[in-house]
Amino acid sequence: MVRGIAGRRKRYVEVEATFLENGSVVPRAVVWGDGRRFPVRAVFGVRACASLKTGGEGVRYDVLVGRARTFLFHERPRWFVEEIVLEGGDV
pLDDT single digits (tens) 24-62:
999 999 999 999 999 999 999 999 998 888 888 899 999
Higher pLDDT, 76 or 15: 15
- C-alpha 59 chain-centroid distance: 10
In the three-class reduction of DSSP (H, G, I as helix; E, B as strand; rest coil), residue 27 is classed as strand
* Spans of all domains in the chain: 5-86
Is the predicted pLDDT of residue 5 greater than 80, yes or no? Answer: no
Q: What string of DSSP letters covers 41-74? A: EEEEEEEEEE-TTT--EEEEEEEEETTEEEEEEE
Q: CA 59, CA 61: separation in Å to the nearest integer?
A: 7
**The predicted structure's pLDDT at residue 63:** 98
**The predicted structure's pLDDT at residue 91:** 53
Model confidence, pTM: 0.84
